[in-house]
Every structure is written in structure tokens, then in C-alpha cells.
Structure 1
Amino acid sequence: MDKLTSLRAFVKVVELGSFSEAGRQLRLSRSAISKYVSDLEQDLGVQLLNRTTRHASPNENGQAYFERALGILAELDAADHAVAQLQATPRGLLRVNAPMSFGTLQLGPALADFMALYPELKIQLVLSDEQVDPVQGGYDVTLRIADLESSSLIARKIVAINRAICASPSYLAQHGVPKHPGDLRSHALLTYGFLLTGNQWKLIGKDGEHWIQPEWTLCANNAEVLRDAAVKGRGVALIPMFIAGDALKKGTLRAVLEDYRAPPLALYAIYPPTRHLAVKVRLFIDFLVERFVAETA
């Protein structure tokens, strides 16, 4: 017995209430549809349909089986669709939203390499540090470095983003080097205040967790601004390593409290829920995962 064809025949008969109509839609004869359904009933050992000369309707067993069969066929169709998409060449417009600093420092080179792989794809990139709504903004993918709130959107983690606690040598020479998280309460702090934790800094060490409510002198939604202020001696900053890295290497910033760490943030790709993720979106996200995980390995 062709179980899959029998399932499709049975579902179509229930949906249309007629063997003849099911046959017309499936391009099979009425007798073929009847045989497929009969074979299914014989295989299961139960009757599924109440039949008259003009109408067919499911009995209790048939209704229960119909509901399960719908799910099975939907999953098969989704699998077929996914495989077909794997063979498709991505084309058209891909709209991406990303944070300003990450976009200019990290995403730009990656995007150029992605474009080389898929020349038929056009990319519109919008950089913004505002928390945009991906759906209202019409974006296919929104990249965020954050600790995410629960949402109806789908979020895929791409890579962890480590952070550094740092200040300029001149600031530390004038104000002293903090040895313990509690010492930060007497320092000028430069903070990114747009996370779920607000302005609070959470630092973890061998002696446990420490929550610091900074007496900040600068609060910004762009970490490059905080880095530049720290380099100028304006205070202690907690910023992502991909932004602080060059200044730390050059010595214009120094890491402090190295026995403590701030929990890493993460780079997420966010997109609206959909039964079939567009191949251009899936390929772009897979590319970013491979690219940035390899860079941090």
C-alpha cells in the first residue's frame, strides 16, 4: 500500500466530503480514491468514513485520524519546501538592521564577503543604535548585541560578546586603580544604559557576584563614544572587546579588575516567525555564525 498517497486521498475526501471531488482535485479516478481509502482502513483495522452514495464524512476514529494526518502531511510539505530552498539561488532584496559600531567595525567586511558569494542578492543595510521593531521596520534580519527580553520574534545567537573594564593610564594615575568592584563606586563611570539591567554593572569573581549602581558621568547608547571618553581620561568604561581591543593593544586604555568579568552579551539575529524561513535569511545568518565563531575560536 502507498501509505502517503492513501493519507492524501483520505484527507482530501474529508475536506471535500466527496470521493468524486477528491479524485478531481488529485487527478485520480473516483475508484482509485475509494481504493486508497479502503486500503488505509484495512491497514488500520478500523472504519474511518461514513459513506453514502453522494457524501462521505469522518466518524469518531476518522476525525481523530484526520487531525493527525493533517499534521503529518504539513510536516512533509515543510520538509519538501526546505529541501527545495536549499537548491535555490538567493536573489532579490535582503534588508538588514544592525548597531552602528558593530556595523562599521565588524559587519562591513563580513557583508562584502557575503555579497561575493551571492552576487544576485541586493542588500540594504541600515545602521542604528535604536531598538527598532523588525516587523514595523520591514527588516528581514535585525542584529542586536543585547540581553534579550522574551518576544514573539525568533532570535538566533550568533556569538558571545565579551566586555572589558578599562580606563586610560592618565585617569588611573590620577584616581587610582580599582582593586575590587566596590571601589568603582568612588570612580567616574562611563556606562551603556540600554540593557535589561539598566545602568547596573554585574561583575563576577571568585568572591561571587557584585552589582554596582554607577554614579555615571556619561551614559550613551554607543560604545565607541564611551571608549573615546575613556581614552580622554573621563572615567572607567565597560565596553565590548571588539570596540576596546585596539586601544588596549596600543596602551591608550588599560584593563582593570581583571580577576572579575562582566557576563558576556551576545550577538543575536532576530527575525519574524515564519513557517518557511527565506533562503536568503537562512544563508545570511549561517554565514554570520560561521564567520564570527571562527574569529573568536
Structure 2
Amino acid sequence: MDTLLSLRVFAAVAEHKSFTAVADRFKLSSAMTTKHVQHVEARIGVRLLNRNNRNVSLTEAGARYLATVRPLLEGLTEAEAQLSESTLAARGTLKVSMPVWMANPSFGRIMAAYHAENPEVVLDFDLSSQKVNLVEEGIDLALRASPALDDGLIARKLAHVDFPLVAAPRFLDRFGRPATFDDLSGAPFLLYSPMATGGRIRFREYADLPDIHYKLVLQSGNETLIQIGAREGMGFAFLPYWLAADDLANGLLETVLPGQVWPKVPISAIYPDRSYLPAKVRSFLDFLAGPNGLGQEKLRE
């Protein structure tokens, strides 16, 4: 039996959760589709799929095996296309891990523009601030905003995002509009949890910015919740400009110390070390780095 075909059949069944759909796709009988999956299971001596009359799902071992095999199959397909001098269209499910705050109108427009150019790619976004194991969790790439990344990761810097200090106009009417850093001493702040330490904000990467001593009123690992609290007049907050842009334009939020240059954090795409990036991954990376992606002027303050 063709082991490579068996691997492709297994990966397709795992993705579509259907033997029947995969049989039609590969022009196989249902019985032969089942035999291909059984061939893979027999080779490695582990049950990879749970199946009954209604459902197909990966076992724990199957999920780990798929995470390892899928990029190899995609790379092989890409290599074959390159050798035959053919063009491989971006298609399939693209799984991306990215921060919660990237669920905003600006990124939504980028997402729609990418889809218009690549209609055969299904976008699957996991919004989380937690670190993920790309291989074990089947993630194609992760977008992370951080001044520094862990060693050993393959990363491509795509853009920088401003984190201005903002507050609601009604809060500023009551508190006063700060003219200097000293005016922020002891002020109420809503902070991203990793920043809420020791009662002061330290700009480690920016030696020219003094520490800010604050009164904590809200902390969260979800920047969208901080945005909502700031909009409701609870205090000052540092927000990614892409998240705050519409609120600033509509007057729901106001920039504090507008002449001040606040931190800019690089956004990087992180992905496993592969000899061949699948077309869906490469096309998405190139789009994000291009003129209509993350670096476009209208996303900047």
C-alpha cells in the first residue's frame, strides 16, 4: 500500500472529520479510505482516530502525530510544485495564534483584503495571550507583540505598533489633562497584567522615559477589557493604537500627553523551522509585510 497516500488520507480525514468526504476527494471507496488510515495506524502501532457512525475525532496520539506529519506533507507538496515549475495556489486551513487585541477593525480590514486575494484559504484564528507550542497544537504561525522573543524561534518582524496613553474625555474633564509626567503620579490606571507590578510603570527599553507611580484600579490579561474600562472613564490606560484608533477618532478616548513619543513594540510572525513554508503560510506572511498589511500608513497614529 502507498504509505505516502495513506498519510495524506489520514491527514485529510483528521481535518475534515469525515471518511466519506475524503473518499470523494481522493476518488477512493469508503472501504479503501478506511484501509489507508488503518495502514498508518498499523505502521506506528497506535490508534490515531476515534470513529463511530456519526463522529470522527483525533486521539491524543493522533493529534501529536498529525502536528508532526502535516507540515511535512505540505512541504512535500510545495517542493513537488517547485520542481515541476508550477504555481501552487494558497489553499487549506491557516491556523494563526495572535493577541486578543488584534481582534479590531483595523486588522479586520486586513483579514478581508487577504481573503479577497486568497479565497481558498480558511482562516482559523486563536486569540490568546498565552504561549503556544506551534507543532503540538497544529498552529501554522503566531503573531506576537514583544520587544524580545525566546531564543530558538524562527521570527519575521512585520511592523511596529504604538502604545499611546489614553483616557476618556469625561474622566479627563474630572481628573484634569496632564501636562507633564509628574501630573500622572498616583493617578488611577488600568493595566495589562504583566505591567501591573510594584506600583510603578518602568519603561525598560526607553531610558529617557521616567517611571510612573500609579494607583491600580483594574488589571487584566485581556486588552479589550482594559479598553472598555478606559472608555467608561475608570482611568488611564496604555492601549495598542490599532485597538484604540476608532475610539480616538470617534472621541470616546483621548490621547494623553499627545506630544510624547510612547513605546513602539515590534510585531513578529513566529513559525516552525521548515525547509518549505506552505503556500498558505507564505502568502499570509507576505501579505502582512506588504503595503496593505500591518505596516500600512492608516494603521499608524
**TM-score above 0.5:** yes
- Output the aligned Cα RMSD: 3.1
TM-aligned CA distance change 1:244 to 1:121, over 3 Å = closer
TM-aligned CA distance change 1:89 to 1:105, over 3 Å = same
Q: Is the 8 A contact 2:184 2:213 kept in 1?
A: no
Q: 1:270 & 1:288 partners in 2: Cα distance? A: 13
Q: Is the 8 A contact 1:169 1:254 kept in 2?
A: yes
Match in the other structure for 1:200: 201
Q: 1:236 & 1:142 partners in 2: Cα distance? A: 29
TM-score relative to the length of structure 2: 0.62
TM-aligned CA distance change 1:249 to 1:120, over 3 Å = closer
Q: Is the 8 A contact 2:288 2:294 kept in 1?
A: yes
TM-aligned CA distance change 1:195 to 1:168, over 3 Å = closer
Q: Is the 8 A contact 2:171 2:234 kept in 1?
A: yes
Match in the other structure for 2:170: 170
1:120-154 CA distance string (max 9 Å, x none): 33332222233333233220011122333333111
Match in the other structure for 1:129: 129
* 1:264 to partner: Cα distance: 0.6
3-state SS of 1:246 partner: helix
Equivalent pairs: percent with the same residue? 29
Match in the other structure for 1:61: none
Q: 2:267 & 2:196 partners in 1: Cα distance? A: 15
Match in the other structure for 2:120: 120
* 1:234 to partner: Cα distance: 0.6
TM-aligned CA distance change 1:245 to 1:112, over 3 Å = closer
TM-aligned CA distance change 1:235 to 1:201, over 3 Å = farther
Asked if 1:95 corresponds to 2:95, the answer is yes
Match in the other structure for 2:294: 292
3-state SS of 2:102 partner: helix
Q: How many residues align?
A: 217
Runs of 4+, deviation exceeding 6 Å: 195-199
1:14-46 CA distance string (max 9 Å, x none): xxxxxxxxxxxxxxxxxxxxxxxxxxxxxxxxx
Match in the other structure for 2:6: none
Match in the other structure for 1:278: 278
Compare 260-269 and 113-122 and name the one that shifted more. Answer: 113-122
TM-aligned CA distance change 1:168 to 1:109, over 3 Å = closer
| Larger Rg belongs to | 1
1:212-270 CA distance string (max 9 Å, x none): 25332111222221122112111111111112222222222221112322221122211
Asked if 1:154 corresponds to 2:154, the answer is yes
Superposition map of 1:180-199 within 5 A: 180-194=180-194
In structure 1, the gaps of 5 or more residues are: 1-79
TM-aligned CA distance change 1:173 to 1:86, over 3 Å = farther
Structure with the bigger RCO (C-alpha within 8 Å, sep 6+) is 2
In structure 2, the gaps of 5 or more residues are: 1-78
Match in the other structure for 1:228: 228
